[in-house]
Amino acid sequence: MQSSLQIKNCQLYRQNELLLSLNEQVNGGEILTIMGPSGGGKSSLLNWLTGTLPSSFKANGEVWLNGQNIDNTPPHLRHIGVLYQDALLFSHLTVAGNIAFAMPKGNKKQRLGKIEHALEQVGLKDMGNRHPDNLSGGQQARVALLRMLLSEPKAILLDEPFSKLDTQLRVDTRELVFSQIRDHKLPAIMVTHDHSDADAANGKLITLSSAL
Ligand SMILES: Nc1ncnc2c1ncn2[C@@H]1O[C@H](COP(=O)(O)OP(=O)(O)OP(=O)(O)O)[C@@H](O)[C@H]1O
């Protein structure tokens, strides 16, 4: 079965004010881009999808992942991976420790092997024992990507994940993230303010109307 993330008749409110209405399906390997004014509710929509909407918001509608309704599934069991504009790595853990933290439990040697292989694939060979504070912004972004991917998510949300990277790094990191989404055939939703992100995603673009 093809993987998919479905938003069925979502209406998102903040203190009784309607922020947005959405009815969308994203299939595996596709990236849905959401743009729109600051304060329009984009990040809150992603919070709703992950089951972490603050209580000052209310939402109607349903979330379906791979044909299953997950409205009552707790956040940590939804298997939705998120990348933010900050890498949000744990500074007290090594690079490998950061990635291992999010991985399913299992054979230690196999897990380490997977981490080493993944690091090598993104140009971070032998960096597993480094600490995040000693990495460049671009390297940190790649570690955050690997931590998210190796957690084996069923869908991916991107909340302006490239906005802190400079131009070339932005293009390279974006290509890496998008190619992983396509290779793993995962449904993805990206929130961005940058039209070049939307162009590169090469999928459906939704522009929310102005915030009131
Ligand atoms: N925890 C919260 N409690 C109450 N209101 C909040 C909370 N977080 C955000 N808001 C408000 O809710 C509205 C929607 O915020 P949200 O962050 O979802 O918008 P956004 O479209 O992602 O904006 P941006 O493009 O600036 O990131 C804004 O008016 C914001 O100030």
What are the residue boundaries of the structural domains of the chain, listed by start?
Answer: 1-79+188-212
Q: In this structure, are residues 8 and 60 in contact, taking their beta carbons and an 8 Å threshold?
A: no
Q: Which pair of structure tokens corresponds to residue 52?
A: 């972490």
pLDDT in the model for residue 156: 98
**Confidence tier at 69 by pLDDT (50, 70, 90):** very high
pLDDT in the model for residue 32: 98
d(Cα 43, Cα 36) in Å, to the nearest integer? Answer: 11
Distance from residue 203's CA to the centre of ligand 1 (Å): 25
81-108 tens-digit pLDDT: 999 988 899 999 999 999 999 898 888 8
Q: Whose CA is nearest to atom 10 of ligand 1?
A: 39
ipTM of the prediction: 0.93
Q: Whose CA is nearest to atom 29 of ligand 1?
A: 39
| Atom of ligand 1 minimally distant from the CA of 43 | 22
Residue 7, SS3? strand
Write out the H or E segment, with its range, that includes residue 173.
helix 167-183
In the CATH hierarchy, which top-level class contains the domain 1-79+188-212? alpha beta
19-48 tens-digit pLDDT: 999 999 999 999 999 999 999 999 999 999
Mean pLDDT of the chain: 93
d(Cα 9, Cα 3) in Å, to the nearest integer? Answer: 20
Ligand 1 pocket residues where CB is under 6 Å: 14, 19, 38-44, 54, 56
Distance from residue 19's CA to the centre of ligand 1 (Å): 10
The sign of the torsion formed by the CA atoms of 44, 50, 55, 60 equals: positive
Distance from residue 74's CA to the centre of ligand 1 (Å): 22
pLDDT in the model for residue 210: 63
d(Cα 133, Cα 130) in Å, to the nearest integer? Answer: 8
Distance from residue 11's CA to the centre of ligand 1 (Å): 15
| Atom of ligand 1 minimally distant from the CA of 14 | 12
Average pLDDT over residues 176-198: 95
Q: Which pair of structure tokens corresponds to residue 33?
A: 């881009």
Q: Which pair of structure tokens corresponds to residue 199?
A: 């162009």
Strand order in the sheet with 80-83: 80-83, 155-159, 188-191, 31-35, 205-207
**Helix crossing, 137-149 with 167-183: angle to 10°?**
10
pLDDT in the model for residue 211: 52
| Atom of ligand 1 minimally distant from the CA of 40 | 21
Q: Whose CA is nearest to atom 1 of ligand 1?
A: 54
Distance from residue 36's CA to the centre of ligand 1 (Å): 12
Using alpha carbons, select from 3, 45, 38 the residue that is nearest to residue 23: 45
Using alpha carbons, select from 98, 108, 89 the residue that is nearest to residue 150: 98
| Candidate of 43, 46, 49, 157 to mutate for ligand 1, largest count of ligand atoms within 8 Å of Cβ | 43
pLDDT(212) > 60: no
pLDDT(1) > 80: no
